[in-house]
Amino acid sequence: MEKDENSKPILSELGRPRRYITDHSADGKSVFSNTLEEEIPSVAFHGTIIFDAFVSSQTPVEMNGGADLKAMQELPQLEGHVRKDVTTVRVVDWLPGQVAIMHRSVSIDYGVLISGELELALDSGESRLLKPGDVVIQRGTNHAWRNPHPTKTARGLFVTAPCVPLVINGNQLDEHIEWPETPSV
């Protein structure tokens, strides 16, 4: 596991994921773009390592003239755990032995567990143990992720998209995080 100068993990034993972005040449042929690095930068966030592979700020996406690639180059650093008002393709590594954080985002998240096992816990007390290939559609619910394995990192791929805030019994469900008392990596 690679760590920064403060001993905070910035890369798990699974390594850094790579992204391959396609584009068009001047004559319309399909090519690989070199606008963005293939290695995806990472951000450590409370027991996870987050790799935002691509972000688009509009639907439909404007790709003419490389507008989406230019917007990606100007993207500010991630603050918190979800980017607001954009659709994000994200790889997440959950480190073993970390405290789960109950949280809600104002988004719909489509996730696939790639490797390892991951527990998805809801504030109702319900939970599911995900195995590689399992799919989650997380619809703005209060939830927590926990890697139950004592030594192996779990990795998932997510696409997150903003949604209209949910209203249940007249109460708007906003984004929040319930920080645990136990410090995490």
Instruction: For residue 70, give the 3-state DSSP assignment.
Output: helix
pLDDT of residue 130: 98
Is residue 27 predicted with pLDDT exceeding 60?
yes
Question: Would you mind telling me the total number of residues written for the chain in this entry?
Answer: 185
The secondary element (H helix, E strand) that includes residue 73 is helix 67-73
Structure tokens at 43: 């951000």
Write out pLDDT tens, residues 66-92.
999 999 988 877 666 677 788 999 999
Whether the pTM exceeds 0.85: the reply is yes
User: Is residue 179 over pLDDT 70?
Assistant: yes
Q: Are 59 and 108 in contact (CB under 8 A)?
A: no
Kindly indicate the confidence band of residue 176, based on its pLDDT and cuts at 50, 70 and 90.
confident
Cα(128)–Cα(118) distance, integer angstroms: 8
Angle at Cα 25 formed by Cα 24 and Cα 31, nearest 5°? Answer: 60
The tens digit of pLDDT for each residue in 108-165 reads: 999 999 999 999 999 999 999 999 999 999 999 999 999 999 999 999 999 999 999 9
- The closest of 77, 125, 104, 95 to 11, measured between CA atoms, is 95
pLDDT, tens only, 49-68: 999 999 998 889 999 999 99
Domain residue ranges of the chain, discontinuous segments joined by +: 2-178
Q: Which CATH architecture has domain 2-178?
A: Sandwich (2.60)
* pLDDT for residue 181: 65
